[in-house]
Homo-oligomer: A and B are copies of this chain.
Amino acid sequence: MDTITIKDIARALNLSTSTVSRALRDSYEINAETKRLVVEYAERLQYRPNPIALSLKENRSRVIGVVVPQIANLFFSQVINGIEAIAYNRGYHVSIFQSHESYERELATVQQVVARKADGLLISLSSNTCNVAYLRQLQEKKLPIVLFDRVSKDLEVPSITADNFAGAYAATEHLIQSGRRRIAHVAIPATISIAQERLAGYRAALEHYGIPYEEKLVRHAGFGPNEVDPIVDDLLRQKPDAFFAASDRLAIGCLTALKKRSILIPKEIALIGFTNITVADLLDPPMTTVEQPALEIGQVAAGRLIDLIEGKPRHLTADSVKIPTRLVIRASTKTGA
């Protein structure tokens, strides 16, 4: 309402809006004295250029839209921190949104981001998103897009993920080397790209060590509040000696379920998670985990996106980057304890 505009300054100083505009952007065509007058007056009235007007005129906003399935997830919030760090010192603002694991909300949110003329989009797909046609459409309209974590092979855009295959391989290998043979895998929904990669890593490790893959030892769990418990029950019937959970939420769920059944960890069953929670060390027992470099994923993704926005032709093709994970061994996989 009472925000002051370039017109107010022009009127007060008996100048035209063009002159004021140019004075504020320090154009050479403006008299030094006039500039001083304008700048001082603008300063005094706390003039702030209206980014909305700018966006309308220039069809850009210096804003990057970030869409994640859930903010209440340490992995994603850390990725966001990585994104913000890079965006911030390259002169972009970051707007954060959640899709709440819903395709419809993801679509609506992305549309909103686009309508508001975000210069680019960083997105991790919701688990219910099987159709990325709407993203391909946006891509064809030249909107810079970078995927991270939950990516899609149906889209020719840069994709930044942890090295999920290697992480899962390392986790499984660690379990095998510590003497386990019947390794159950609680996987995330199969629709999510990384589920497949992690499953592949798990299978590859089994194969490498000559352990047959058993479908009955693998179950996918969704995002419901009480989904993990029955799945653990099911898996227990297969008499596993280890659990490999494909996310932090699932690892916590497994831990809860196993404790509830008074199963000793790691004596009876070993447990390993794929996670980012910092408290893994403080759990009972301290949980072995595959840690994902969340911050770095965010940084790389933001960097790539801004390169794309600014037309830096450094990476021509739709290159996907895999960032190494780290296996942190703790008590939950100790041998013969």
Contact = CB atoms under 8 A, between A and B. Distances in A.
Contacts of A97: 94-96
Contact of A81 (B56, B71, B94, B115): B71
Interface string A42-83: 000000111111011001000000000001111001101100
B52 A56 contact: yes
A115 B71 contact: no
Contacts of A277: 279
A255 B278 CA distance: 13
A142 interface: yes
Interface in A264-284: 277-279, 281-284
- Residue with the greatest number of chain B CB neighbours at <10 A, chosen from A49, A51, A111, A277: A51
- Residue with the greatest number of chain B CB neighbours at <10 A, chosen from A2, A81, A96, A111: A96
Q: Which 4 A-B pairs have the closest CB atoms?
A: A284-B284, A72-B77, A96-B96, A71-B77
Contacts of A49: 115
A279 B253 CA distance: 10
19 contacts: A1-B141, A1-B142, A48-B111, A49-B115, A52-B52, A52-B115, A52-B117, A71-B71, A71-B80, A71-B81, A72-B78, A72-B80, A72-B81, A96-B97, A252-B279, A256-B282, A279-B279, A282-B283, A284-B284
Nearest to A50: B115
- Residue with the greatest number of chain B CB neighbours at <10 A, chosen from A93, A111, A278: A93
A7 B43 CA distance: 38
Interface string A252-263: 100110010000
Nearest to A287: B282
Q: Give the size category of A's interface with B.
A: 35 or more
- How many copies of the shown chain assemble into the complex? 2
Nearest to A141: B2
A255 B282 contact: yes
Interface string A233-265: 000000000000000000010011001000000
Contacts of A96: 71, 95-97
A34 interface: no
A164 interface: no
Contacts of A322: none
A250 to B, nearest CB: 13
A335 interface: no
Interface in A122-143: 141-142
A334 interface: no
Contacts of A95: 95-97
Contacts of A252: 278-279, 282
Interface string A276-300: 0111011111100000000000000
Nearest to A98: B84
Interface string A83-105: 01000000001111110100000
